[in-house]
């Protein structure tokens, strides 16, 4: 999202105004007009919109992650309850639908968005989301956004924003989509525009669906998958086994998630306010991450089962669950992370399991070197490899705009080197789980196939029977195997990939 040159406009403001009614979801029905004059409009932006603006500017100019900066911004502004929820929806909703909104703004402003000054462009995106993606009445959306522009950018910007948003408000989202799609013939390009994804991401997701689900099914499921990326995921917690968090979660209103035996869904509230979360006995974690960790820990193993390794542990979510499971199995976990800063996050995350009796060593080092430094040492190894994150777009909305195909050229060799190291660090007969939060074939199947060419004795274990729901039944729709691909639109989890490999009963070359 490059920063364009500044160009404050002074177009005459039009006639919208009113209060600050709020709601969520896409608004339908006829447009409502305001009889208020510009002079009657709000002069000051409300705190919720100001918070969303500041967070989006940080995402745009500092490559910040919204999920990291938004909570701090909400606390700094003292926002809670409905105001915090409104600011959150403004932030995440705008980021998810940014591609579609930019196309709308370009038409309404009669210029490419790249020619609009960055701060003004951010204000316009927030205004368009209120008009086309939320149930905020037109007069309130325009009035409050103009006030935001005047406060954050200047009077001239307020006039331009008012004029553009008036044009946007002349038709609803369906009509805008129909207008934008009219000249587009390519089916995947149409889906990319309608569902606000970069076209290369749509093509990569289609390829992943074809591999896992077959071509006819993939054609039917691509649009639901893209739509799922634009729907906020549930607030899912993990109750780390053996640490007694379940009753506290239930008392707080959380309900057991059927998709994974350790997963709970908190319908509302701040998870950080829960004692079990503060103490590390529970944590916020997507159910897909829990499932693959449980699969590695539960798959059968002959012989020693005392030494476990998380090769890329930062920031520590899977290590936290793995540590609790290792404690239950009488094993010791080494949680390795290449970054000292992220290793500190791992140490913090593991406080709960350690207080519960888990034996854990947190180390800082390059995971690619452990296979050589400690060959044939570990019984179970997790490789949660760095990836594009295309499977977690509903939780990391800025990722789709920040990533590019060029990232694969950097990540691919790293992923292969980490898996290669993991196999060397595993004792004969031991297990390695290779995982990514991406369904991109270049980060999943192709990595496993390439690495196994160098280790022809390694056995691919069918991981699907070990991905089990709360009732103990194997999940369905995981693909043809032996690896498994989870999907947001099918399983309600992030799009996690996992392959399970067994090292042969002899040393690897």
In angstroms, the CA 492 to CA 440 distance is: 18
Give the DSSP letter string of 394-459. TT-TTHHHH--THHHHHHHHHHHHHHHHHHHHEEEEEEEEEEES---GGGTHHHHHHHHHH-TTPE
Check: CB of residue 147 under 8 Å from CB of residue 53.
Answer: no
DSSP state of 232: P
Of 314, 372, 305, 355, residue with least CA distance to 333:
305
Both tokens of 201, joined, read 């991401």
CA distances, 110 to each of 99, 115, 130, 418 (Å): 16, 10, 20, 49
Identify whether 387 is a catalytic site residue: no
Q: Point out the catalytic residue in the list 202, 204, 222, 437.
A: 437
Check: CB of residue 104 under 8 Å from CB of residue 127.
Answer: no
- According to DSSP, the residues that pair with 435 across neighbouring strands are 384, 498
Of 150, 35, 23, residue with least CA distance to 93:
23
Q: Which sign does the torsion angle of CA 381, 387, 392, 397 carry?
A: positive
Check: CB of residue 477 under 8 Å from CB of residue 487.
Answer: yes
Burial 234-243 (b: 16+ CB within 10 A, else e): bebbbbbbeb
Q: What are φ and ψ of residue 435, in 5° steps?
A: -135, 150
The burial class, CB within 10 Å (0-12 / 13-18 / 19+), for 456 is: exposed
The burial class, CB within 10 Å (0-12 / 13-18 / 19+), for 340 is: exposed
Q: How many other CB atoms are found less than 10 A from the CB of residue 252?
A: 19
In angstroms, the CA 311 to CA 432 distance is: 10
HEC profile of 492-508: CCCCCEEEEEECCCCCC
Q: Which residues are annotated as catalytic?
A: 437
């Amino acid at each position: 999202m490059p920063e364009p040159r500044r160009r404050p406009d002074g177009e005459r403001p039009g006639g919208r105004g009113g209060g600050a009614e709020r709601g969520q979801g896409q608004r339908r029905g006829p447009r409502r007009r305001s009889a208020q004059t510009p002079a009657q409009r709000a002069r000051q932006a409300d705190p919720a919109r100001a918070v969303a603006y500041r967070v989006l500017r940080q995402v745009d100019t500092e490559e910040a992650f919204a999920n990291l900066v938004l909570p701090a911004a909400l606390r700094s502004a003292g926002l809670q309850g409905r105001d915090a929820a409104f600011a959150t929806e403004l932030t995440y909703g705008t980021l998810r639908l940014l591609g579609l909104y930019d196309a709308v703004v370009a038409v309404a402003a009669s210029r490419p968005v790249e020619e609009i000054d960055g701060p003004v462009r951010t204000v316009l995106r927030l205004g368009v989301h209120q008009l086309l993606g939320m149930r905020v009445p037109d007069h309130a959306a325009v009035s409050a956004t103009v006030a935001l522009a005047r406060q954050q950018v200047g009077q001239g910007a307020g006039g331009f924003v008012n004029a553009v948003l008036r044009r946007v408000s002349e038709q609803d989202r369906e009509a805008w989509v129909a207008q934008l799609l009219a000249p587009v013939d390519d089916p995947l390009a149409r889906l990319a525009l309608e569902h606000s994804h970069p076209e290369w991401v749509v093509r990569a997701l289609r390829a992943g669906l074809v591999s896992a689900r077959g071509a006819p099914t993939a054609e039917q499921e691509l649009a639901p998958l893209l739509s799922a990326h634009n729907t906020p995921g549930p607030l899912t917690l993990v109750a780390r086994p053996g640490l007694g968090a379940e009753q506290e979660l239930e008392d707080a209103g959380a309900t057991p998630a059927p998709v994974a035996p350790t997963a709970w869904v908190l319908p509302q509230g701040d998870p950080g306010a829960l004692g079990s979360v503060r103490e590390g006995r529970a944590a916020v974690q997507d159910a897909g991450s829990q499932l693959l960790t449980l699969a590695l820990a539960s798959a059968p193993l002959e012989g020693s089962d005392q030494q476990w390794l998380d090769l890329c542990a930062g920031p520590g979510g899977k290590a936290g669950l793995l540590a609790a499971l290792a404690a239950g199995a009488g094993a010791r976990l080494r949680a390795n992370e290449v970054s000292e800063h992220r290793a500190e996050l791992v140490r913090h995350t593991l406080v709960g399991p350690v207080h519960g009796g888990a034996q854990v060593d947190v180390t800082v080092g390059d995971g690619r070197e452990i296979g050589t430094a400690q060959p044939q040492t570990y019984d179970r190894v997790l490789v949660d490899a760095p990836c594009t994150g295309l499977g977690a777009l509903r939780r990391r909305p800025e990722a789709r705009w920040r990533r590019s195909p060029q990232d694969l050229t950097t990540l691919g060799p790293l992923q292969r080197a980490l898996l290669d190291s993991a196999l060397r660090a595993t004792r004969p007969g031991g297990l390695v789980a290779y995982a990514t939060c991406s369904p991109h074939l270049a980060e999943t199947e192709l990595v496993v196939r390439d690495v196994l060419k160098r280790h022809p004795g390694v056995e691919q274990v069918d991981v699907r029977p070990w991905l089990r729901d709360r009732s103990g039944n194997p999940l369905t729709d995981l693909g043809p195997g032996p690896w498994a691909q989870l999907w947001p639109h099918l399983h309600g989890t992030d799009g996690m990939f996992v392959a399970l490999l067994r090292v042969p009963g002899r040393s690897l070359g």
